[in-house]
Amino acid sequence: MIEENLIKIWVQSIKNINLYIKKGPVIIFGLMFPFFMALSWVLGRNILINQIFIGITAMTAFFTATAISPVVLPIETREKSLERILSAPLSLNQILIGILIASSLYSMIITSLIAGIFIIIFPSLLNSLIYVFIFWLGILLMSILGSLLGLLVSAHPTDQTSDVMLMMNLIKFPLLFISGIFIPLDLLPLSAIILAFFSPLSFLTDLFRYCVNGHSFFPYQLDILILIIWIVVLFLINAYIHSKTMPKRFGESRSMPMKKNQMQGMQK
């Protein structure tokens, strides 16, 4: 039974990757956006390679993780395939985990690739295997966390990806700017540090800083713990909110009673 359920989740994840990886919003918001953002941040500035590495990897993890998960449900609502999945012998949580795995895998592969290229060119960025492991753990946690955030935004029962992506950007950019991606936390004023606590990206970049620079604002264990807490809380919120909004995806308006003029038309 457990094996059968795991297979169902895995098959769904593969389907989500196969079908949605090439969708416009995924390419634009998952790849092009972070690329051009990183470019505009780096070009013409005198920024240390360590900071570029941390910033670009964190941005890639965050943007790619929030690319697939928000679009799956709106597209499947529009194409009606969501109803097929919901009437199949699957639980709602299995459907959500299928999206989560697809989105996290996409993010982990792309971010690991970017990080790998940096490390090949600048091998001194991560100088011990422990740091490599913790760094990769950070990528893994952010991939899951970002995917959960995207999934949460897609709980809004719309069938338009543009609605969800607009909302996603309204959340993503404040989280990005209040985090320590562009300026390290220890260089920020106190008010900005307090604000940074509200962005999970702050803890990711702090964790990356520990791996790259050997020191961080918070103990690295605390960074990991906070990212895990974010994941658990977001998962629980997702499970609850999706169970409430899922039925609304199937057009209540289509179930409205027949209007009087329709009835009169029938009588004629």
Partner 1 sequence: MNKNIAINVLNLTKKFGDFTAVNDVSFKILEGEIVGILGPNGAGKTTTLRLLTGVYKLEERGKVEIFNEDLNNNLIICKKKFGIVPEISNVYSDYTVLQNITFSGKMYGLSKKEIEIRSNDLLKRFELINKKNSKTKTLSKGLKQRLNLCLALLHEPPILILDEPTSGLDPFSVKIMRDQILEFRNENKTILITTHDMKEAQTICDRILIMNKGKIIADANPEVLRKKFRSLSIIKFNAEKAFESNFAKVFHDLIIKPDGSYNFSSENVLKDLTDLYTFTSQNQIKVSDVKIQETSLEEVFIDLIKKDSIKEDFKND
> Applying CB under 8 A, which residues contact partner 1?
4, 7-8, 11-12, 15, 18-19, 79-81, 83-91, 247, 250, 252, 254-258, 262-263, 266-267
Which lies closer to partner 1 via its Cβ, residue 94 or residue 169? 94
In the chain, beta strands by DSSP E: none
CB of 235 to partner 1, least distance (A): 20
CB of 144 to partner 1, least distance (A): 24
Which lies closer to partner 1 via its Cβ, residue 45 or residue 254? 254
Long-range contacts of 181-189 (CB under 8 A, 24+ apart): 181/54, 181/55, 181/58, 181/59, 181/205, 182/41, 182/55, 184/51, 184/209, 184/217, 185/217, 186/217
* Helices marked H in the chain: 2-20, 24-27, 33-42, 49-78, 81-87, 92-121, 129-153, 161-178, 190-196, 200-213, 220-245, 260-267
CB of 89 to partner 1, least distance (A): 4
> Are the beta carbons of 68 and 28 closer than 8 angstroms?
no
Which lies closer to partner 1 via its Cβ, residue 46 or residue 253? 253
Which lies closer to partner 1 via its Cβ, residue 215 or residue 259? 259
CB of 23 to partner 1, least distance (A): 10
CB of 67 to partner 1, least distance (A): 17
Which lies closer to partner 1 via its Cβ, residue 71 or residue 181? 71
Structure tokens at 127: 């100088």
